[in-house]
Structure 1
Amino acid sequence: MTANPRRQLRQTDVKRLNRTWRRHTEGRLALIVESVTGPFNIGSIFRTAAAFGVGHVWLAGNATPPTNPKAQKTALGTDRLVAWDEPVPVLEAVRAAKDDGFRVIAVELTGDAVPLHEAKLDGDVCLVVGSEDHGCSPALLEAADGVCYIPQVGRVGSFNVGVATAIAVAEARRQEWAAKGMPAGN
């Protein structure tokens, strides 16, 4: 691509690189965002969704929509690149995801949760994240097909919801690409 591999890529090179990864991405990925009210978190989640090819975001509970002016500051217009619905009751969002053929996997700390890297995130998967203060609701956890958590070794008990979403979505794509034998250099 370039004579000096440490030089930052030009915009054309970035588009070419992203196109290569897009060609090796087939799994459908979606999100349910339950009662996330912080507009900057919503904006961050939508930007992550657009970057990783999330096809649909269901907003649930009292989630802030990405059209909120403060959310737009973080999303930078990426909400137009991802299909999304106005907030609905959480069980309605779960039903819609399942009716669309997704397995629903909550990202939450529960007694039966598996570490994120061990969770089966292949195929058509809809990841669920919950509110900043209380996480996923009991009703959502009961309706989910599975639960996973993000292992941490530091002294902080949890991640910001926008960061947790980015980690979970990135892991879902990493698992897909690893299963296809995609080398790290592609």
Structure 2
Amino acid sequence: MQQERTLEQIQKINTAEHSVRQYQAFIIRIAALLLILWALFFQVIGLTHAPNADMYPRVDAGDLLLFYRLDRDVRSQDVVLLEKVTPDSAGEKDLYCARVVASAGDTVDISDDGRLLVNGSQMIESNIFSSTWRYEGFQEYPVTLGEGECFVLADRREGGTDSRYFGPVSKDEIAGTVITVIRRTNL
């Protein structure tokens, strides 16, 4: 009888230890999942809202933007998020969304009749519906971009805050390349 109780007690202890090991394994898996999600969404991918309507109609103010943080080698026509100190920002970085139109080594000019010229050739932009005018008193033209610089323009060319206002953008100021837009308005 004494031996049966001991065997019964041993089985209960083994069952309890097995339950504790399962619980520990579950907690470790949850912690690993949270660590992976943190790394993914705070180091590799970002999610933010469009700060303004400068990229309208493609991106409207308030739309959610999913962006890739690790890509610093931007190409022409990439839509990027950038953190830039501007004359209006009182020394703090503001978030901007804009399209890359030229990169390192390119020469950008804006003609008196509102044409965008990159390396002497007019840019043909199928989805831009207005002329590109200079902002007087800000950027001097033509501008040749140095190593690690790009020139960005808002799709809404009239009144958009872009390189015509704050000059070329360095790679260090690029927060990431927009992957997708999640429309929150005008559905």
TM-score by length of 2: 0.25
- CA radius of gyration, larger in: 2
Structure with higher helix content: 1
Structure with higher strand content: 2
TM-score by length of 1: 0.25
